[in-house]
Structure 1
Amino acid sequence: MTIIAALLLFGVIVLIHEFGHFIFAKKNGVTVHEFALGMGPKLFGIERNGTVYSVRILPIGGFCAMEGEDEESNDPGSFGKKSILQRASIIFAGPFFNLVLAVIFLIPVFIYIGSPTTKLDQITANSPAYEANLKSGDIVKSINGQEINSWNEFTQKITQSKGQPLNLVVDRDNKSVNITVTPKKAEDGTYKVGVTCVRNKNIINSIKESFVTTGQMIVQMIIFLKQMITGTVPGGFSNSVAGPVVILSIVSGAAKTGIINLLYLGSIISLNLGIINLVPFPALDGGRLFLLLIEAIRGGKKINPDKEAMINMIGFCALMAFMVFITYSDITKLFKGIIKF
């Protein structure tokens, strides 16, 4: 059942991506021949207003087949006949819908666990916070003279301290109290002071926290992409990049622990799909947006369709080769017992 849950999650994430393309294609008058859930042979389909809505046998994605998307077409409803801005909006809509889905997935997560505040909850015995006389109920106002407005800012200051003493100003019973605390390095290599925070459970804060967390994850993913390009990924490339087998294993594990963990992991996967698709690489949405940018720079002069198709084909082959490499790495980990189902 957990594998089924994982496949359904993947299906929803990819479906939302393709739905973004579909909605904006329809909005801009592009003829959509088929909007499919799944891949492979068609199980069944229904035609409405010239579009076939189908379900295919393999629950691993889907597609939105538009007129003139990958070939020259003189049809008025052809993708290629639309303006640069219209085509760009259609292409960008897929990744953008994935970003929106990530936020939507996170809202119930934060409704359940609550949004972190700067008010301290538990103080670990014999920890730096305990020794510095921090108390439950203290509200952190500033660190080293810099105002603290969120729990994330607080943890960042702790992490960036590198073990150096920090001067905190906390609100204790409506009075400002100055406290010096020295973070200690934990087993995982990060610096901590030994405190937890009070979590505020309401829908408004949950929505706000979902946007904030999504923004933070986007920054982390961009940093990771930069490390991939420069070859500076911590722990090595093969140990840091997961393929479909590893992801299926992780999602299956999350499904066993409940819907909240599954939704949180789903938000990360959806965000990854959106961000990676915006990378300016041939065959990806980002690559197609880059070609549209070149077209705009050339004053609207279109790139030769055959050349564009060749560029995208080369990019697609490179992506498939990369996927084979990652899948091989996944299977190796599976046989070694590193990953389990």
Structure 2
Amino acid sequence: MLITIITFIIILSILILAHEIGHFFVAKKMGMKIEEFGLGYPPRVYGVKKGGVVYSLNLIPFGGFVKILGEENEDKAKEDPRSFQNRPWSARALTISAGVLMNFALAVVLLSIGFNIGIPAILDEKVLAETSTRIKNKEVIISYVNKGSPAEKVGLQVRDTIIAIDGEKANNISEIIEKIKERQGAEISLEIKRRKTNLTKKITPRTDPPEGEGALGVGLAKIGIVSYPWYLALWKGAEATFFTFLAILTGFWQLIKGVFIPQAVPLEVAGPVGIAVLTGRAIDQGWIYVLQLTAILSINLGIINFFPIPALDGGRFFFLLLEKIRKGKKVNVNLETLAHQVGFYALIILLAFVTFRDIFKWKEKFWNAIERIVGG
């Protein structure tokens, strides 16, 4: 569990730090005065001033922050031409957007590394048709389990790897289907691998399954470790980032529909506890899954941060758009500051709600982990 917590902190720190580095470099390039660039969050442990910027190391080990002169509408910044508020509209817009863009860029880099080294993928016709694809460690996994099926009753799970049926090795989907058909109505011994553990399940394939379901009540998919030359890996990383971006946006749309339309089924929202649980599962699967999870979370962070909610980058960008629409007339400083403060506290309340809900949902895992850490 300690490894999971440390990995979770490292992932979160990388995501936030990448975001803040984006703000830092673009703000500097746009001629803004950076007052402080901090690793972690205050209280400050150590700081050194170089080139007019305080570089600090802080006690709370989550990501970092960038303090730009005038970003919080301070009085002292009103006359300084390097103040955020005194820079051109385009410079401010680019600086605010830079953190989100850096999160997307980080996802491209991580996924490109994965595609170059080797990443788990479903071996569909498109993958198999690519001449530059390198594939190893082919295996057949369970892709879904039907409710009320023999598979569900004996505890088969999504991502279980099928190794053998009655001691006979199962190398591809057609072989598995054929072996199961031959044994319908009779109990079989199904050898599977779950994470790093081999298990044997006794199961009886149905002779007359419901329409659209198989004898066991599972879906099967062939997967393998797929890798590409570096120049193709870059393209694949960018492509995967784009499609993940679209998938997450679709998910958020479904979530919003679920709030206003009773017929729509809202998706799950995970807070820090939920993400920590996902991190633990990724660690169990292997470091390449941790890499993928980090990339997905980076895209997710970028999207959420650009929602037009006060206190987020998207909220700040929204006020910039209002300024543009009003032909350069800025929104009242006090009104904008109040909006960001209200937005900040609303986000804290939402985070607390999601965290407590996650603790309730994962209460057994959560309290077991606490007991292991404190030695109870």
1:44 aligned counterpart, secondary structure:
strand
Amino acid at match of 1:71: N
> 2:55: which partner in 1?
53
Q: Judging changes above 3 Å, is the alpha-carbon distance between structure 1 residues 51 and 326 closer, same or farther for their aligned structure 2 residues?
A: same
Q: Judging changes above 3 Å, is the alpha-carbon distance between structure 1 residues 100 and 29 closer, same or farther for their aligned structure 2 residues?
A: same
Out of 31, 37, 41, which is 1:29 matched to?
A: 31
> 2:355: which partner in 1?
327
How far apart are the structure 2 equivalents of 1:210 and 1:309?
39
Q: Could you report, residue by residue, the CA deviation over 1:36-88 in whole angstroms, capped at 9, with x for unpaired residues?
A: 11113111112111111111111122210111101142211100001111100
How far apart are the structure 2 equivalents of 1:252 and 1:241?
17
Amino acid at match of 1:243: G
Unaligned runs of at least 5 residues, structure 2: 130-137, 139-170, 180-211, 370-376
- 1:220, CA displacement in angstroms? 0.8
Does 2:122 correspond to 1:95? no
Does 2:83 correspond to 1:78? yes
Amino acid at match of 1:83: P
How far apart are the structure 2 equivalents of 1:129 and 1:288?
60
> 2:174: which partner in 1?
125
Q: Judging changes above 3 Å, is the alpha-carbon distance between structure 1 residues 190 and 282 closer, same or farther for their aligned structure 2 residues?
A: farther
How far apart are the structure 2 equivalents of 1:250 and 1:264?
11
Does 2:345 correspond to 1:317? yes
> 2:283: which partner in 1?
255
1:68 aligned counterpart, secondary structure:
coil
How far apart are the structure 2 equivalents of 1:29 and 1:66?
11
Q: Could you report, residue by residue, the CA deviation over 1:261-281 in whole angstroms, capped at 9, with x for unpaired residues?
A: 111110011111101111111
Residues 257, 264 of structure 2: 8 Å contact kept: no
Q: Judging changes above 3 Å, is the alpha-carbon distance between structure 1 residues 248 and 118 closer, same or farther for their aligned structure 2 residues?
A: closer
How far apart are the structure 2 equivalents of 1:97 and 1:185?
44
How far apart are the structure 2 equivalents of 1:241 and 1:85?
34
Q: Could you report, residue by residue, the CA deviation over 1:8-47 in whole angstroms, capped at 9, with x for unpaired residues?
A: 1211110010010011110111111111111131111121
Q: Judging changes above 3 Å, is the alpha-carbon distance between structure 1 residues 57 and 82 closer, same or farther for their aligned structure 2 residues?
A: same
2:26 aligned counterpart, secondary structure:
helix
Q: Judging changes above 3 Å, is the alpha-carbon distance between structure 1 residues 185 and 301 closer, same or farther for their aligned structure 2 residues?
A: farther
- 1:207, CA displacement in angstroms? 1.4
Amino acid at match of 1:125: S
How far apart are the structure 1 equivalents of 2:284 and 2:7?
10
1:40 aligned counterpart, secondary structure:
strand
Does 2:267 correspond to 1:231? no
Residues 117, 227 of structure 2: 8 Å contact kept: no
The equivalences for 1:175-186 within 5 A come to none
Does 2:325 correspond to 1:297? yes
How far apart are the structure 1 equivalents of 2:342 and 2:223?
50
Q: Could you report, residue by residue, the CA deviation over 1:289-324 in whole angstroms, capped at 9, with x for unpaired residues?
A: 111111001111111111100111111111111111
How far apart are the structure 1 equivalents of 2:4 and 2:103?
23
- 1:256, CA displacement in angstroms? 4.5
1:119 aligned counterpart, secondary structure:
helix
How far apart are the structure 1 equivalents of 2:301 and 2:225?
32
- 1:209, CA displacement in angstroms? 1.2
How far apart are the structure 1 equivalents of 2:218 and 2:308?
34
Residues 254, 265 of structure 2: 8 Å contact kept: no
Out of 101, 115, 118, which is 1:113 matched to?
A: 118
Does 2:206 correspond to 1:201? no
Structure 1 range deviating more: 314-323 or 198-207: 198-207
RMSD: 3.1
Q: Scaled by the length of structure 1, what TM-score is found?
A: 0.75
Amino acid at match of 1:317: Y
Q: Could you report, residue by residue, the CA deviation over 1:230-278 in whole angstroms, capped at 9, with x for unpaired residues?
A: 21699965x7110011112222332344321111110011111101111
- 1:94, CA displacement in angstroms? 0.3
How far apart are the structure 2 equivalents of 1:260 and 1:288?
35
Q: Could you report, residue by residue, the CA deviation over 1:71-114 in whole angstroms, capped at 9, with x for unpaired residues?
A: 14221110000111110000000000000001111122112325
Out of 5, 8, 11, which is 2:10 matched to?
A: 8
2:128 aligned counterpart, secondary structure:
strand
